Chains A and B, each alone.
Chain A
Amino acid sequence: MKSFIEKLNSKYVLQEVVYQRDDLVFAAIKKENAIDAITYLRDYEDFTHLVLMSCVDWIEDGKYQLLYLLHNPILKNDIGIKVYIDRENPEMVSAHHLWKSIWTYQREMHEAFGIVFPGSPRLKENFVVEGWDEIPFMRRDFDTHEYAEKTYFPRGNRKSNDPAEYMRKKLYPSQPVTAKQRKDDK
């Protein structure tokens, strides 16, 4: 695997190379070269099978990371190609011409993260949610907690306790405490 990665590195500059297992390597490739590299892997290096495609939201870095996981059925090797794209303007060259199955993945990425793959068939059709009018739900800045609160009505028979407050009332109710707690008590 190592010599193959070195060869690939000479063609397309690889970054963040991680030898995860003997038969699995991850590497990042620049956005401009990624589809070229994936095509090369499929057509010349026998990585003919697309295992999956996924996405990670690196909100702190202002990037989305796409992952194309490819399988070589002859050598039984896997390679994961990571591609970082700008989070503000998330657009990636479509790979729908390489595998038909990638249509669905790209449709999912579009719905869950808002990533655009120009030319990808049926891209804007609903995937798992209908009538969604919030920001894409897999983005890290989507507040699931807040959404759950406003969307699903609370059951009347539920009541919770804050551990610190509950302990105060049970163990030291008369102790002078913080200004905020004094105010709450009143």
Chain B
Amino acid sequence: MNIKDILTPFTAWANVVKEPVTIKDPFNREAAPRYRGFHDNDIEACIGCGTCEAICENQAIDLIPVDGVETKDGDSGLRPQVDYGRCCWCALCVDICTTDSLRLTNEYTWIDTDPDNFIFTPGVTPKSWYKKEEGWRKPGNGYEFYSKERVDMEELHAEERIDSFIEFVKGYSKEQAEKEADRCVSCGICTATCPAHMGIPEYIKAIRNDDLEEGLRVLYETNPLPEICGRICTHKCEDVCSVGHNGDPLSIRWLKRYIADQNPSEKYKEILNQDTSKSNGKKVAIIGAGPSGLSAAYYLALLGYECTIFEKLPEAGGMMRYGIPEYRLPYDQIDKDVNYILELGVEIKYGVNIGTDIKLEQLGKDFDAVFSGTGLHLGRSTRIPGTDNENVYFATDLLREIVLGKDIYVPEKIVVIGGGNVAMDITRSLARLQQIKYGKVDCTATSLESEDIMPADREEVVEAREESAIVDPGWGPKSIEIENGKVKGLNVVKCLSVFDENHAFSPKFDEDNKKFFPADMVVESIGQGMDLSYLSKEFKEKLKFTERGRIKVDEYFQSGVEWLFVGGDIIEGPDVIHGIANGHKAAVGIDNLLNK
């Protein structure tokens, strides 16, 4: 026997003092930094869009109301609840999360005797792991389930569009529209914000399925003016788009336009398949062929009412035709929407002025109900010295006269007072007329509001500047300089703030910081007023008015006089989509009244 054989077993004793390779406490072992463990949700950032629920292959997620979270524009008020009896921690819910609020921490142990406890609301049900920073988050390195960038809309360049009124937004091609539609997560958060509550996810889905006839049917359920809204809607829906929380919001407006553009007008009747041949024998008069009047007529016609629209101007559309310039909304597109409504049997009597040609009270006698959507067609004045000069105009009057084909005064230098969309419309229209007449543009728009709070859509300001118009915001008009009865320009002072701490209109100025805009013509575009002269004094006494001088209506737009319904810009807005929604609801209200 060898001495080595005796000693070798004792060498094993050396291992007694070594650190063991096994884990002492397997329950408190930290997982890897990107481990996909238990959920956490940032309740403030989450908007309850439900894409986590939709993508979950195991149906482990429900959306439930949570105390303290309010349902409002852009937030459903719901939050995801996870069932750990079904979850497989694949983290698809995290990877699709539109707000990046959902994550998985790297916590992975949870012992409980009651199976029902394993259903919990991340971020709401108190859990120890929320404080853990490590775990799985959306990688964000280009790994995305939907594109963050919207498909660009092709437009004519400023040089190509400045010398005419042709439409400059080209519209999506099939490939572009389908690519853009593919970004939609179908959450439907946008629907509540749209004043007409359009079925936005449904019509976007129709684009994805290349079923544009179905798309048109979806559009017409809530909006009979899709060509128009597809071009000039204020698209509040896009402001709340869940995809917009982390990228560009969907181009909802352009997608709507795509559906309407692709369906030829001669096929509308066949596609929409709406039968209005059966009359219910009741008649409704509608004052004004603007968005609210047309919408009311459309929905009433579908219910079997005989509708007659009385329009003061020679063509239908109201502000859509006589306020919005042709380069944004071509007349043939207005006609396409209007003609379909006429095909349903709606009649329009043009050139009829209610109040003078026919008394409103007479309409009330001749018809079973009356809807009035007369709009805001009167300009408002700043009332600064000099506004009584003949070369000081209202934007609404000029826009209307351009459409009516009248020869308007276009001097070489023009200044526009106002920072809203109408101000941009008149600025850009006059810039075009200057380009046509003089081959150059010298038109300045100045507003009280500074650049960041200008009420105009951002794109309008950008496009106006592209077209060589000057937009110089943040100035308060003081006086119009008149010399020998001629306009010489506009005196302004710096505006420091427009609203006080209670958000009330109360502009403050720095009187020492002055500026002078030389001009031969001044256009005021600081808002519009309503012309209610068609209401006689005795009639007015029967109506109720709000503190702001608007006619008081109930939720179905019924006024104090039972047979009179009022809607559109004179009640809500001003914009097209509110008018459409008002008209739709008033139609339901009229039907409720006459079908009692």
Contact = CB atoms under 8 A, between A and B. Distances in A.
B64 A164 contact: no
Given A155-B83, A162-B50, A166-B76, A178 B188 contact: no
Interface in A129-186: 144-145, 148-149, 152, 154-155, 157-168, 170-172, 174-179
B64 A168 contact: no
Contacts of B354: none
Contact of A158 (B119, B192, B202, B587): B119
B192 A160 contact: no
Interface string B213-240: 0000010011000000000000000000
A175 B582 CA distance: 10
A163 B76 contact: yes
B65 A152 contact: no
Contacts, number: 96
Given A155-B83, A158-B119, A175-B197, A163 B221 contact: no
Interface in B239-282: none
B584 interface: yes
B71 interface: yes
Q: How large is the interface on B (under 10, 10 to 19, 20 to 34, 35 or more residues)?
A: 35 or more
Contact of B62 (A158, A168, A176): A158
Contacts of B188: 162-165, 167
Given A145-B57, A177-B197, A157 B189 contact: no
A164 B199 CA distance: 10
Contacts of A170: 71, 77
Q: How large is the interface on A (under 10, 10 to 19, 20 to 34, 35 or more residues)?
A: 20 to 34
B59 A163 contact: no
A67 B153 CA distance: 40
Contact of B71 (A145, A160, A167, A175): A167
Contact of B197 (A157, A158, A172): A172
A60 to B, nearest CB: 14
B191 interface: yes
B201 interface: yes
B116 interface: yes
B58 A148 contact: yes
Interface of A: 144-145, 148-149, 152, 154-155, 157-168, 170-172, 174-179
Interface of B: 48-50, 53, 57-59, 61-65, 71-72, 76-78, 81, 83, 85-86, 116, 119, 187-189, 191-192, 197, 199, 201-202, 218, 221-222, 299, 555, 581, 584-585, 587-588
Given A158-B81, A161-B76, A164-B191, 18 more contacts: A144-B57, A145-B57, A149-B59, A161-B65, A161-B78, A162-B50, A162-B188, A163-B48, A163-B78, A166-B65, A166-B78, A168-B191, A170-B77, A174-B555, A175-B581, A177-B197, A178-B199, A178-B222
19 contacts: A144-B58, A145-B59, A159-B62, A160-B53, A161-B62, A162-B188, A163-B187, A163-B189, A164-B187, A164-B188, A164-B189, A166-B63, A167-B76, A167-B192, A170-B77, A171-B72, A175-B197, A175-B585, A176-B299
